[in-house]
Structure 1
Amino acid sequence: METSSLRKRFTDLQDLDMDMIKGITWAEQMWRTLLTGLTKTFLNWTQVALKMSNNEEDLQEWVQVFTEHYEDTCCELVSDIEYLKSTVIANIESLLQRVESLCKTLKIEMPVLDIDSSCLYKVQHQLKKRVEELEHSVETRRRDLNKLRQKQLELCKSLGREPRVIDDNPLPSSDEILDFQNHIERLEQEKFDRFEKFCLMKEEISLMTRELNVSPSTEFEKNVLSQDDSKFMVTDENMKDLECFHKSIKRQLENVKEEISHLRSNVDHYWDLLEISLQERQEFRQKYTGNSVDVLDALRLEVRRCGDLKKANIKVFVDKLRNELTTIWEQCHCSESAKEDFSYYISDCYTEDLLELHEIELKKWKAYYEENKEMILLLNKHMKLWNKMIELEESATGPDRYNNRGGKLLKEEKERNLLSKQIPKIEDTLRELAYKYEKHHGYEFRTFNKTIEEYIYNMHSDRENARKEKLSARKIQREQPMLTLTPAKSALCLFPGSITPSTMCTSKRKLFDNPSTDIRKKIKTSSRLVATEPKKNKSKAYKGIIPKIILSTTSQSKRLSTERKKRIEKIRRQSVLKQRNNNLRHENVSSTESEYMNFENEVSSRVDCRSTINPFLVPLPDTPAPATKTPVKSISKQGSSHRTRPDHGTPTNPKFSAAKTNLRMNF
């Protein structure tokens, strides 16, 4: 550097105040060191110069050289420190640019640095530290991004998809990296789900192929059923092919099962028609089990074989089908017109078409039965209960209805009450089912060519007509003339009060043995007179008048033995028991019996009318007939009792008293 320029620069230095270094330790110490060194240097230099010469010119020359060297040295020192400052500033600028570049790469904002208020070296240090941090973040993010890319590449290859493209300059932001990670996680989950689905489908396909007894044919099917699962890639295309393969195998198995079931049904039908032995059937079933293709082929061959045999025995099979048709027609409550609609039933042209027509007709009625099975079974149940109710009603009016052995009357009454509750419920259910049938099919359901309403109405109508016919028959029987009676009963009606129940048994036998015998000669004179004395019974079951039997006490004491007294007491005890049973029965008496009792009471109240059913209860001419007829027991010599009026109870305490008569009874 030239001396003139250095001097000029020295002169251009600022005139600063010494106060600027106050409080700065290193500056004050350096200033003291410089003053001390400059003083020593100046004094030593002066001493040497004075010793060398006293010439003013020489000393002035030496002083100028010393001064110039000093100024140059000072300028160099300042220049060095300024150069160092510029170097630091340049470094700071470079670091700032690096920070800016890294922030752009990381897609973050530029950090704010307080350069003015901070020392340059401190700023430089801070920037260096920030650059190191940013470079580490960039390196870490780039490394993570590469890993995610590699992972995505593998997953997309497994799934058969294109990978997502993501740039690294600038690097993706944290949010973008997080979204990319979520994308990869979804790919992993989808791969896991697909693999799980593949395992399940593979297991199902394996089971179905084993059941069908088939082997894989294509390379894809072999990869699916391979023991090594890694051979199968869960790509979109492979998964679609896998689903198609699974559906096809499943459809094939269903078709095979359906066809095998149909063929087995046909084989059983053919076996029944051909009357194949049970042993041969069992051997075939044991040999061909399952739903494999081999079983299907075997069943097809068996059907073909049985079909050939069937063609050779068409007439036999047609007759069997006609028997089955007759049975199913009866089960379906078919009318004659419905049967006549199938005109081929009476055809004698035995061909394969005729056999097929019978099979179609049989299937039609079987399907009809299955469709309306509930209503048909309910109709059968209704018919059964109805017949049982009619049977109980007939037994309730039969001559032996009071043979109450083991509580028979009470059991029948309970059964009647149960039937009276069950039958209306069944009829309501039948009406409801018939309404649903008509609503669904558009026409009414028919049982033996009758609608449900007609069927129920006819049942009740027939029952009511039968009841009225019975009442009419009883009325006609009561109004028959006395000549229609048997000889013994005619005698009783002609001579009321002359024959007692005890003499009826002996006289009847004699009259039938010899009809020409004079009745009056066979009857002995008797002082007994049978009469009725009205007496009110306190029992709830009898609101009418219970007659008494009044006998002569004199003849009674003479004729009744101790044994007969015991029998009478026994009969009275039995009467009490029967009275209790009749009371129970009377509480649930039917409307028919009530009407009959009213009719009987009305007839009994007439003096000029006599009962044609019980000849023993003929009122005397002088005795008014009771308003209500009640049962009277006749006691024979053997002590047997005869019920004369089954519609009423038996008196619990019959009494005997004496009475005179104008007729003599001959024994």
Structure 2
Amino acid sequence: SRRTHEVHAAESVAYLNRALVRLQDIWEEIGIPEEQRLQRTNEVHKHIKGLLDLMIAEEEELKRRLLKSIEACIKELKSLCSELQLPPFEEEEGCTMLQMEKNSRTRLELMQEHKKQRMEELKGLISKDTELCGILCTTPFCIDQNSIPSLQQLKTYHAYLDDLTKEKERRHEEFVSLKKDIIVCMDDLEQHPETSFETDVMCEDEEAFCLSDENIAALKLLLSQLQDRKTENERRCSAFRTKIQELWERLHIPQEEREALSEHMVTSKKRNIEALQAEVERLEVLKIQSMRSVIESIRAEIALYWEKCFYSQEQQQAFFPYHADDFTEELLNLHEAEVKTLEKYYIDHQELFEGVTKWRENWTLYLELDKKANDPGRFNNRGGNLLKEEKQRTDLQKSLPKLEKTLKTQIDAWEQEHDKEFLVNGQKFLEYVQQQWEHHHTEKEKEKLERQLKKTKQTQEDMLYGTAKRTPSKRRIAGTPTPGKVRRGLGLRTPGHGKTPRLLDRNKENVSHLRNTPSGALRSQDTQDHTFTFNSFAGSYSDFAVMWFYINFVQTTKTNP
């Protein structure tokens, strides 16, 4: 403090005075003259004054250096804060010169360390950027390499390099995948690298390959070209195999010769193509040598397609070469072209043809089942098929109209699309279906009429000549009286009080089914029962008269209900 300073100054002055008094005493004791003592006193004064001046000068120099250091630090701090884009340095109030110098110097060292770290980080980022740009062939990140980057610039640079690294990894994965596919294709094609680029792809280290957009695009193009060649080879092999199969069948090539080519019937490499092509050429020579048999084989195929496509006679006869007998190569070419035309026509309309075929198969089955339903001998079946057949017939009777409706929709759409009629055997299919139904109904009515005429004729013959005694079946039907048990001399009974003869005993498995049989599908059970009763009981004239009255009564009731 100032008081302490004053105390120190007073002590210094007192010491100086004591020192001068002591010096005077020493000089006096020595006997130095007054004049010399005065001279020595002046020397002491000069010495003390010089020492103090020197000390003051040194302290002044220290002050000057401190001020200069503070000024330089503050100046450099301002510059660094500006470069580092940090808030400007602010001096603390109330600090001494030494404290201020220390604070500014410490802050300066910290800023310099920040600068050093940022520059080192920038250097590392630039190095990584250069490496990635070399691999991806991209332009380096735009940044001044000599100036201190801001924190935001470094953050942006990091994000850019992260994206670039991800792009490198993506391209590398794509390159590895493309390279793998290219190697497989070249192996399948039995092809070796032809250009320097293909050599680089096949042989160069994966890490050293330039993953530029242009190189990736070139890889994709190369793979596409190889795949196109591979596809073309597969297409050629498929065509050769199809041709070979056709010629094998037409030329009736033995199985032993076919198996010799089995190893080339699966893969589609270069050697397979050459082998298949050689086999086609060999078979073509054989085909020319066996022209007649080949043409006849093709004609069989044409006839099969005619049947599948429901060609009419007029359509079949329109292909005149079919009936030619000059077996030349020109005729063979005409037949081969016709087979391809028919095959394409069938494939284009396969769904429609299969629907028509299905309808015809179902229609044929329905007619067979309907014919069985009208067969009197069906009741002798004890295998349970009667019920199954009737159920199947009923299902077909329901499904056929649905199938016809579906086919009508398809045919209408086809005719609208192709602007022509869809013919089956030269006739519109729906007209053909309608004719089949009409013909079926006509045949049913005809059969019904024939049964009625036959029944009438039989009745007339029985009236004129009597009932012929029929040979009894081995197995007597339950409830049927034996001739010995027939009552004779029966009086005439009125229809209202007469007892109805017992019905035939039927198979238990068919009883419920016969009750549900539609009218007209099966022969009337009443008629069967009455015919049986007539044949069984008409043993005498009186019995005949009774039964004749009963039959007339039943027929009259059916005619006039």
TM-score bracket for the superposition, by shorter chain length? 0.7 to 0.9
- The correspondence for 1:584, drawn from 494, 513, 521, is 513
Aligned residue runs from structure 1 range 399-478, under 5 A: 399-477=376-454
Aligned to 2:469: 504
CA contact (8 A) 1:321 1:358 kept: yes
Unaligned residue ranges in structure 1 (runs of 5+): 1-19, 507-525, 537-544, 549-571, 605-610, 631-667
**Which one-letter code corresponds to 2:504 in the other structure?**
S
Aligned residue runs from structure 1 range 23-172, under 5 A: 27=5, 30-31=8-9, 33-41=11-19, 43-44=21-22, 77-114=55-92, 116-172=93-149
Task: Kindly state the Cα deviation for residue 366 of structure 1 after the two structures are TM-superposed.
Answer: 1.9
Task: Kindly state the Cα deviation for residue 79 of structure 1 after the two structures are TM-superposed.
Answer: 4.5
**Which one-letter code corresponds to 1:212 in the other structure?**
L
Q: Which moved more, 1:166-175 or 1:231-240?
A: 231-240
Task: Kindly state the Cα deviation for residue 304 of structure 1 after the two structures are TM-superposed.
Answer: 2.3
Aligned to 2:500: 547
CA contact (8 A) 2:240 2:277 kept: yes
Task: Kindly state the Cα deviation for residue 288 of structure 1 after the two structures are TM-superposed.
Answer: 6.9
- Distance in 1 of aligned mates of 2:281 and 2:550: 93
- Distance in 2 of aligned mates of 1:473 and 1:622: 22
What TM-score, normalized to structure 1? 0.70
Residue 241 in structure 1 maps to residue 218 in structure 2: yes
CA distance 1:363–1:350, shift in 2 (3 Å): same
CA distance 1:21–1:348, shift in 2 (3 Å): same
- Distance in 2 of aligned mates of 1:30 and 1:446: 138
- Distance in 1 of aligned mates of 2:9 and 2:206: 86
- Distance in 2 of aligned mates of 1:457 and 1:227: 76
- The correspondence for 2:339, drawn from 351, 357, 362, is 362
CA contact (8 A) 1:159 1:234 kept: yes
- Distance in 2 of aligned mates of 1:117 and 1:234: 64
- Distance in 1 of aligned mates of 2:172 and 2:547: 114
- Determine what percentage of the aligned residue pairs are the same residue: 24
Q: Which moved more, 1:65-74 or 1:437-446?
A: 65-74
Task: Kindly state the Cα deviation for residue 92 of structure 1 after the two structures are TM-superposed.
Answer: 0.5
* Secondary structure of 2:380's aligned partner: coil
- Distance in 2 of aligned mates of 1:375 and 1:627: 55
CA distance 1:321–1:102, shift in 2 (3 Å): same
**Which one-letter code corresponds to 1:102 in the other structure?**
L
Aligned residue runs from structure 1 range 323-402, under 5 A: 323-402=300-379
CA distance 1:400–1:204, shift in 2 (3 Å): same
CA distance 1:265–1:613, shift in 2 (3 Å): farther
**Which one-letter code corresponds to 1:216 in the other structure?**
P
CA distance 1:529–1:189, shift in 2 (3 Å): same
CA distance 1:624–1:253, shift in 2 (3 Å): closer
CA distance 1:110–1:530, shift in 2 (3 Å): farther
Task: Kindly state the Cα deviation for residue 458 of structure 1 after the two structures are TM-superposed.
Answer: 2.0
CA contact (8 A) 1:202 1:224 kept: yes
- Distance in 1 of aligned mates of 2:535 and 2:450: 12
CA distance 1:410–1:627, shift in 2 (3 Å): farther
* Secondary structure of 1:575's aligned partner: coil
**Which one-letter code corresponds to 2:121 in the other structure?**
D
- Distance in 2 of aligned mates of 1:297 and 1:622: 91
**Which one-letter code corresponds to 2:64 in the other structure?**
S
- The correspondence for 2:554, drawn from 624, 628, 646, is 628
- Distance in 2 of aligned mates of 1:255 and 1:408: 57
- Distance in 1 of aligned mates of 2:156 and 2:50: 66
CA distance 1:184–1:492, shift in 2 (3 Å): closer
**Number of residue pairs aligned between Structure 1 and Structure 2:** 533
CA contact (8 A) 1:264 1:299 kept: yes
Residue 268 in structure 1 maps to residue 268 in structure 2: no
**Which one-letter code corresponds to 2:444 in the other structure?**
R
CA distance 1:178–1:402, shift in 2 (3 Å): same
**Which one-letter code corresponds to 1:576 in the other structure?**
D
CA contact (8 A) 2:373 2:521 kept: no
CA distance 1:532–1:319, shift in 2 (3 Å): farther
- Distance in 2 of aligned mates of 1:74 and 1:329: 138
Aligned to 2:161: 184
Task: Kindly state the Cα deviation for residue 225 of structure 1 after the two structures are TM-superposed.
Answer: 1.7
**Which one-letter code corresponds to 1:547 in the other structure?**
T
Task: Kindly state the Cα deviation for residue 188 of structure 1 after the two structures are TM-superposed.
Answer: 2.3
CA distance 1:263–1:75, shift in 2 (3 Å): same
Aligned to 1:21: 2
Task: Kindly state the Cα deviation for residue 547 of structure 1 after the two structures are TM-superposed.
Answer: 3.1
Aligned to 1:633: none
Task: Kindly state the Cα deviation for residue 122 of structure 1 after the two structures are TM-superposed.
Answer: 0.8
CA distance 1:442–1:33, shift in 2 (3 Å): farther
- Distance in 2 of aligned mates of 1:183 and 1:416: 79
**Which one-letter code corresponds to 1:21 in the other structure?**
R
- Distance in 2 of aligned mates of 1:401 and 1:532: 35
Larger helix share, 1 or 2: 2
CA deviation string 1:534-591 (max 9, x = no partner): 469xxxxxxxx9634xxxxxxxxxxxxxxxxxxxxxxx7x933359845531322234
CA deviation string 1:139-178 (max 9, x = no partner): 2222222222222222211222332342233211111112
CA contact (8 A) 1:107 1:171 kept: no
- The correspondence for 1:216, drawn from 188, 193, 196, is 193
CA distance 1:73–1:415, shift in 2 (3 Å): closer
**Which one-letter code corresponds to 2:506 in the other structure?**
L
CA contact (8 A) 1:535 1:547 kept: no
- Distance in 2 of aligned mates of 1:622 and 1:160: 115
CA distance 1:464–1:78, shift in 2 (3 Å): same
- The correspondence for 1:304, drawn from 266, 281, 290, is 281
Aligned to 1:566: none
CA deviation string 1:452-481 (max 9, x = no partner): 42233222211111122223334444566x
- Distance in 1 of aligned mates of 2:117 and 2:488: 144
* Secondary structure of 1:577's aligned partner: coil
Aligned residue runs from structure 1 range 507-526, under 5 A: none
CA contact (8 A) 2:492 2:546 kept: yes
- Distance in 1 of aligned mates of 2:256 and 2:177: 42
Task: Kindly state the Cα deviation for residue 252 of structure 1 after the two structures are TM-superposed.
Answer: 1.0
CA distance 1:460–1:492, shift in 2 (3 Å): closer
CA distance 1:146–1:546, shift in 2 (3 Å): farther
**Which one-letter code corresponds to 2:333 in the other structure?**
E
What TM-score, normalized to structure 2? 0.82
Task: Kindly state the Cα deviation for residue 258 of structure 1 after the two structures are TM-superposed.
Answer: 0.8
- Distance in 2 of aligned mates of 1:274 and 1:623: 77
Unaligned residue ranges in structure 2 (runs of 5+): 472-486, 557-561
- Distance in 1 of aligned mates of 2:450 and 2:537: 18
CA contact (8 A) 2:185 2:227 kept: yes
Q: Which has the larger radius of gyration?
A: 1
* Secondary structure of 1:166's aligned partner: coil
Aligned to 2:256: 279
- Distance in 1 of aligned mates of 2:54 and 2:245: 124
CA contact (8 A) 1:546 1:628 kept: no
- Distance in 2 of aligned mates of 1:61 and 1:216: 112
- Distance in 1 of aligned mates of 2:95 and 2:362: 116
- Distance in 2 of aligned mates of 1:344 and 1:466: 41
- Distance in 1 of aligned mates of 2:76 and 2:437: 112
- Distance in 2 of aligned mates of 1:60 and 1:456: 163
- Distance in 1 of aligned mates of 2:408 and 2:397: 17
